[in-house]
């Protein structure tokens, strides 16, 4: 099950590997179950409905768990993380209960920030047909707007990315998110200067 091959939306295997490494780093500091952390990090985009057909993806995941004879408690822990890790316009807020899930969520969110986050934002916009910037198009309020509706790459910073630092679960996650968000804010300011 390789849902990441050929991806050009910023959800390729390099993203998965960065999330895995960051999740393990944070997981060690938080004394989380590193098996659950690593497995959830490796699998976190395999059932993401913006990348795959959900029903089929969940079926394939169950087949994978069966093929490796994963114990029921581990299967349940990983499944819970995969169900609730995604941002989804804030609709999953508060649903992720486990420490391991919070660790992986921080690692995934950190990969949406900083220099890598900037690059991934423009990859995603291009892959899904969003324009770079439209000064006449204001950022949406995701509390009322459809999170996946067309937008612009620059609006995505305001609609989601700049809010992530407030949503981090761990001390290390918050520290890194602050640094990476400051870098992105400087980039967006410079982008707008050059645009105008």
Rounded to whole angstroms, the Cα distance separating 137 from 140 reads 9
pTM of the model: 0.89
| pLDDT score, position 1 | 44
How many angstroms separate the first and last alpha carbons of the chain? Answer: 45
Number of other residues whose CB lies within 10 A of the CB of residue 12:
16
- The C-alpha atoms of residue 126 and residue 180 are separated, in whole angstroms, by 22
Q: How far apart are CA 112 and CA 123, in angstroms?
A: 12
Tokens (6 digits) for 190: 């410079």
Which residues make Cβ contacts (< 8 Å) with residue 72, sequence separation at least 6?
A: none
Name, in order, each residue with C-beta under 8 angstroms of 5's C-beta and a sequence gap of 6 or more.
13
Tens digit of pLDDT per residue, the chain (196 long)? 455 666 666 677 899 999 999 999 999 999 999 999 999 999 998 887 776 777 888 899 999 999 999 999 999 999 999 999 887 655 666 788 999 999 999 999 999 999 999 999 999 898 888 999 999 998 888 766 666 677 899 999 999 999 999 999 999 999 999 999 999 999 999 999 999 9
Phi/psi of residue 89, each to 5°? Answer: 65, 25
């Amino acid at each position: 099950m390789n849902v990441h091959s050929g991806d050009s939306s910023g959800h390729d295997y390099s993203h998965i590997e960065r999330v895995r490494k960051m999740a393990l780093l944070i997981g060690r500091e938080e004394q989380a179950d590193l098996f659950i952390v690593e497995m959830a990090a490796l699998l976190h985009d395999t059932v993401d409905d913006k990348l795959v057909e959900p029903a089929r993806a969940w079926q394939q995941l169950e087949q994978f768990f069966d093929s490796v004879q994963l114990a029921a408690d581990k299967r349940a822990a990983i499944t819970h993380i995969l169900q609730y890790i995604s941002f989804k316009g804030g609709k999953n807020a508060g649903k992720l209960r486990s420490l391991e899930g919070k660790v992986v969520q921080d690692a995934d969110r950190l990969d949406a920030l900083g220099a890598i986050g900037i690059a991934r934002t423009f990859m995603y916009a291009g892959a899904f047909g969003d324009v770079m910037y439209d000064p006449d198009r204001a950022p949406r309020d995701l509390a009322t707007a459809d999170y996946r509706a067309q937008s612009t790459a620059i609006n995505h910073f305001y609609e989601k990315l700049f809010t992530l630092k407030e949503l981090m679960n761990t001390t290390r996650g918050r520290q890194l998110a602050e640094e990476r968000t400051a870098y992105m804010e400087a980039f967006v300011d410079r982008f707008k200067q050059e645009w105008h």
